[in-house]
A and B are shown apart, each in its own frame.
Chain A
């Protein structure tokens, strides 16, 4: 897996910097939660019982919430737990149990040909994305802003305010008054 991610090393030249202890702890935590997310996603696809699939998907959601928090998107992390793990997955489990699909399991994983096709489709997509990301031209125009700008904004406005200002100012209300 480490070899796979080293394909993407060309995007940023950050890996050559000297690593401070705090940064290393964050990186170790990222690997931990990334492994949890990937493993839970794989288990979600391969379990036969839909209830088990739903539980593994909740594990993926929690790991992703932790990764959002590590990335500094605190509000999105909380929303991920509240809305995805709290509301959407309850809806899924409600329907599974309403239709009584949890104990009388049909064979719903397709045959070998489909499995090969699924693996092929996944690998081709992964290779395409790896090629795009490793090309070094991933960053769209105007994204050379230093990464600390968002941290400064968050320190000034708070984790919610930094999202609420563009959300209600630019996207929803369109009522930016010039003062």
Chain B
């Protein structure tokens, strides 16, 4: 674990997070948007794991919680996507505007 410089892993984490943000902006398919959000969560997990040798193993415990939240978020979000699809026969993100207010 001390073979890899911290800057490399943090750089990879920043790169993955930026790709996730760009994907959320550029895609319209709600399922792919969810996948981009998962990618961003993974980037944050990588930063936690990379810092855990220096800041204590609590970072890895936090990754555990993040994974649990990601799993439940995917389950709830995909259920919402299915119900919107049954309403409007499409998963385009513009159909989700009724969730705004």
Q: Once the chains bind, are B22 and A118 in contact (CB under 8 Å)?
A: yes
Which residues between 1 and 44 of chain B lie within 8 Å of chain A, taking CB atoms?
A: 1-12, 14-23, 25-29, 31-32, 34-36, 38-39, 42
Q: Are B10 and A11 in contact (CB under 8 A)?
A: yes
Nearest A residue (CB) for B50:
A71
In B30-88, which residues have CB < 8 Å from any A CB? 31-32, 34-36, 38-39, 42, 45-46, 49-58, 60-61, 63-65, 67, 70-71, 74-75, 78, 81-82, 85
A109 and B27: CB pair below 8 A? yes
> Contact between B55 and A106 (Cβ–Cβ < 8 Å)?
no
What is the bound-complex CA distance between A117 and B24, given in angstroms? Answer: 11
Query: How many residues on chain B are close to A (CB under 8 Å)?
Result: 64
Given A44-B35, A98-B82, A143 contacting B92 (CB threshold 8 A): no
How far in angstroms is the closest Cβ of chain B from A45?
Answer: 4
Interface residues on A, range: 35 or more
Chain B residues whose C-beta falls within 8 Å of the C-beta of A167 in the assembled complex:
61, 64
Looking at the complex, which one of B15, B26, B56 makes contact with A38 (CB distance below 8 Å)?
Answer: B15
Q: Which applies to chain B's interface (DSSP): helix, strand, loop or mixed? A: helix
Q: A37-B16, A54-B35, A61-B42 are in contact. Are A121 and B22 (CB under 8 A)?
A: yes
If A57-B35, A99-B85 touch, whether A45 touches B19 (CB-CB below 8 Å) is yes
A residues within 8 A CB of B35?
44, 53-54, 57, 92
With A and B bound together, what is the CA distance between A47 and B16 in angstroms? 16
Chain B residues with Cβ below 8 Å from A8 are 7-8, 10-11
